[in-house]
Amino acid sequence: MRALIIAASLALAGCSSLNPMNWLTPHRLDIPQGNYVTEDAVARLKPGMTRSQVRFVLGTPLLTDPFHANRWDYKYRLIRDGKVVRDATVTVFFEGDVLTRIEGQPLPAEQPVAPPLDASAPAAVPAQ
């Protein structure tokens, strides 16, 4: 009888779907890192803007390199379940204190959580 129980245990341990260690997995957080630079924000940039104006529109850059003082890199990476889902870089170039050009692919604007209210639709009144 014991040999039958041991053989069944070994057979079931070999099945990955029946392995109790695979039933529970730890929760992994979504980890956004960097600056989420949208197409709308990049569209507001114009050549000739100062560094402070660019910082106001895009935020503080993630990377400022002392060896490339005329360049700011805005890097964004989203990691879900340990895998890179989104990876984007936008680089702005300056001559002195003036913006000259922008390179990279900005990210799409985030979709709103709730759709905007239609002004023509009647507002819902909570029941009392």
* Digit-coded pLDDT (tens) for 71-89: 999 988 888 877 888 888 8
Query: Dmax over Cα atoms in the chain, in whole Å?
Result: 85
| Contacts for 89 with CB less than 8 Å, ≥ 6 apart | 73, 74, 75, 76, 104, 105
SS (H, E, C) 54-104: HHHHHCCCCEEECCEEEEEEEEEEEEECCEEEEEEEEEEEEECCEEEEEEE
Helix, strand, or coil here: 51? helix
> Where residue 52 falls among pLDDT bands split at 50, 70, 90?
very high
How far, in whole angstroms, is CA 79 from its chain's centroid?
7
- The residue ranking higher by pLDDT, 60 or 120, is 60
Question: Which of 25-29, 72-76, 80-84, 107-111 is most confident?
Answer: 72-76
> Where residue 68 falls among pLDDT bands split at 50, 70, 90?
confident
State the architecture of 25-104 in CATH terms.
2-Layer Sandwich (3.30)
What are the extents of the domains in the chain?
25-104
pLDDT surpassing 80 at residue 123: no
Tell me whether residue 79 is exposed, middle or buried, using C-beta atoms within 10 angstroms of its C-beta: 0 to 12, 13 to 18, 19 or more. middle
